[in-house]
Amino acid sequence: MSFNVSYLIECLLSGVKYIHVSLILAFVPLTVGTIFGTLIALTRIFKVRFAGKFFSIFIPIYNGIPGIVTLFIYNLIYLLFFKPTVTGVIWVALFTFSLGQATHLSESIRGAFLAIPKGQYEACYSAGLTTFQTLRRIIIPQVIPVILPAFTNMTVGAIKNSSIVFAIGVTEVLNGATIPCGTTYSYLEGYVAAAIIYWILNIIAENLLRLAEKRSAKYRSGGKS
């Protein structure tokens, strides 16, 4: 078996056409997961009745299930009740990834909140600030730089893990890069092309987030750059 460079380029061009799908499958769940993960973390930190206890049990259980298993489960539920469409399958993937990101990020976010000394909450309350004002003005600006390293890893993982949707028929970078392989049945070039595209996407995302980490570091040093 020989490696054909021109064929690799063809696979690269084919995979590039579906970068937007992979980015949607990565960043929409990250956004949704960050929002709901923060809410979940806060319910546990402030010990909200019922919700806090529920998530303290649900999160460890759900995080113990591989993402591809939950993807298959939700896809089978979808096929059981609805007529399959391309848009519908993408929504299944978005739901699966969003829930997974929310449960994983909630743990990292909770840890970041717990890293802030309790004395800061007490000082804010004594100054007359409400809990919402305390979180918005004092706590969250300090949590952001703490959570960014973990968020960087989650982003890189989200871009890579978007490839598992090939299992339910969604065409993204991996499937797109291997489309030309259907005529020759030589898939090595297609997989290498997909690996190159994912690597470039992750390098860009990681560098941007590392820059954000440096910029947010002033909150950890009392405003000193």
Per-residue pLDDT of the chain (225 residues; tens, 9 = 90+): 577 788 888 889 999 999 999 999 999 999 999 999 999 988 988 888 888 888 888 898 998 889 899 999 999 999 998 888 888 899 999 999 999 999 988 888 888 888 878 887 778 888 887 877 888 777 877 788 888 888 888 888 899 888 888 888 888 999 888 888 877 777 888 899 999 999 999 999 888 888 877 776 665 554 444
**Predicted pLDDT of residue 219:** 52
**Predicted pLDDT of residue 223:** 46
Contact partners, residue 156, CB within 8 Å, separation at least 6: 202, 205, 206
- Predicted TM-score (pTM) of the model is 0.83
185: closest CA among 7, 53, 31?
A: 7
**Predicted pLDDT of residue 217:** 64
User: For 20-158+200-219, which CATH class?
Assistant: mainly alpha
Indicate the domain borders of the chain.
20-158+200-219
Q: What are phi and psi of 175, to 5 degrees?
A: -65, -40
Q: How far apart are the first and last CA of the chain?
A: 55
**Predicted pLDDT of residue 108:** 87
Contact partners, residue 107, CB within 8 Å, separation at least 6: 41, 59, 63
Identify whether the C-beta of residue 17 lies closer than 8 Å to the C-beta of residue 176: yes
Identify whether the C-beta of residue 36 lies closer than 8 Å to the C-beta of residue 102: yes
